[in-house]
Amino acid sequence: MPELPEVEIVKRSLKNTVKYKKIKKIIVKNRNLRFRIQRDFEKLLEGRSILNVSRFSKYVVIILDNQKYCLIHLGMTGTLHIINYKKKKKITNLSFYQSKTLPEKHNHIKIKFSNFMIIYNDPRRFGFFKLLDNKIELKKYFNKFGPDAISNNFDSKYVKNKFLNKKKNIKSCLLDQSFVSGIGNIYANEILFLCKINPFKLANKIADKEINKLVKYTKLVLNLAIKFGGSTIKDFKNIKGESGLFQKKFKVYDRENKNCCRKYCKGKIVKIFISNRSSFFCKLCQKK
């Protein structure tokens, strides 16, 4: 599943493509995504102009000129493709994962503009589109989420307050979207390694200095991943058809049995499972 950096790249690509453009026609070929697409979806979107495209957590948010909001969640295998009517590209993928070209069998939604169209393709159909009527509904929808991981709201004071009396391991906390939004399994492993925190360590045992490091390295890792175009797992591609490069920067993820990359550490990377998610860490420098 794409994490915050990959969704941020999708958002930027989509924003560059559709901002200030008018939607001419919507074609829904399959309403049965994770949540069934509402019956009047086409009617509510056709003729509307897109004022902006933003992101919160792992959601792309399209802001329409009638003050409605369209949320897009890509699930496990959802991709957005741009088809230019005049310039047929071999590479159509606006986002990432799976094929960089358009596998038509799983095209579920077509959003047509004057000179191009955006196609949503999703083999496993875990993604979804959801329309919200106003900003109040948008805020209400995201009320259950913690602050976006790269926002100013995710700071040491917030984390310290949340960790008081919290008897839950730190790895699970980082993956809990009600605590902090946007971090997935890959980046949680990388963040904890840089902090020298064992993934099994309980949140209420995290010292103030470690909390400061946690906030610092969360933002550092995620922003660095965005800079390097995300992590290529299963053929990640950006709008130019280029692979993400951050996987070349991995310190622990998918490095089981390899030597710790810290200069003076003689430990090896081990792999264990926490809440059915693979966790990679150095037993020597990430002591509990």
| Given 110, 160, 277, 283, the catalytic residue | 277
Report phi then psi at 93, rounded to 5.
Answer: -65, 120
Is pLDDT above 80 for 246?
A: no
5, 6, 11, 58: the catalytic one is 58
Best CA proximity match to 287, nearest among 205, 166, 178, 188: 205
pLDDT of residue 85: 87
Structure tokens given for 170: 């730190």
Q: How far apart are CA 159 and CA 109, in angstroms?
A: 39
Tokens representing 12 are 């930027």
Q: Where in the chain is the domain with CATH 1.10.8.50?
A: 156-282
Q: Which range, of 162-171, 213-222, 225-234, 257-266, averages the lowest pLDDT? A: 225-234
Evaluate if residue 127 carries a pLDDT over 90: yes
Kindly tell me if the per-residue pLDDT of 21 is higher than 60. Answer: yes
In angstroms, the CA 86 to CA 284 distance is 58
Is 55 marked active-site? no
CA distances to 8, 160, 274 from 215, rounded to whole Å, are: 19, 10, 21
Q: What is the pLDDT of residues 188-202, one digit of tens each?
A: 999 999 999 999 999
Distance CA 124, CA 251 (A): 30
pTM of the model: 0.88
Which residues does residue 54 pair with via DSSP β-bridges, in sequence order? 61
46 part of the active site: no
- Reduced to 3 states (helix: H, G, I; strand: E, B; else coil), residue 241 is coil
Fold of 156-282: Helicase, Ruva Protein; domain 3 (1.10.8)
Range(s) within the chain of domains with CATH label 3.20.190.10: 4-141
**Residue 61, token pair as written in the block:** 């948010």
With a CB cutoff of 8 Å and minimum separation 6, the contacts of 100 are 91, 92, 93, 235, 237, 241
Q: Other CB atoms closer than 10 Å to residue 103's CB: what's the count?
A: 12
- CATH class of this structure's domain 4-141: alpha beta
Per-residue model confidence (pLDDT) at position 230: 53
| Distance, C-alpha 42 to centroid of its chain | 26
Active site residue 277: yes
For residues 13 and 130, the model is more confident at 130
Q: Is position 58 annotated as part of the catalytic site? A: yes
Catalytic residue among 2, 5, 147, 199: 2
3, 6, 8, 190: which one is catalytic?
A: 3
Q: Which residue has the higher pLDDT, 83 or 152?
A: 152
> Beta strands 116-121 and 50-56: pairing type?
unpaired
